[in-house]
Amino acid sequence: MSRLYEEVRIRLEEMAMITTRTLKIHAGRGSEVGFCPIASGAEAEFEAVKLVRTSRGSGCYDYRQGACFELEGAGSEACPIKERTTV
């Protein structure tokens, strides 16, 4: 389990790095990496996860569309993450 945990943590950090680079978001020391599905509502073509939260907003990835996008103003209360990793 510990090796699996480490592998998942590393992959999440990689996904967060790719997302922030793609969106040109500066992910400083206070950035939080996590994996939080975003409710799609009635839109079946939208399946996204929030990967990183910065002071500027959140970096997300829609894996149906294969696109990164920014979600502004959504803090940790919008998507509680039990465990946070600081970048």
Q: What is the pLDDT of residue 80?
A: 46
Q: What is the pLDDT of residue 84?
A: 44
Give this prediction's pTM. Answer: 0.74
Q: What is the pLDDT of residues 35-76, one digit of tens each?
A: 999 876 666 677 899 999 998 889 999 988 999 999 886 554
Domain regions of the chain by residue span? 2-86
Instruction: Identify which has the larger pLDDT, 59 or 80.
Output: 59
As a whole number of angstroms, the distance between CA 15 and CA 6 comes to: 14
Give strand pairing partners of 38: 48
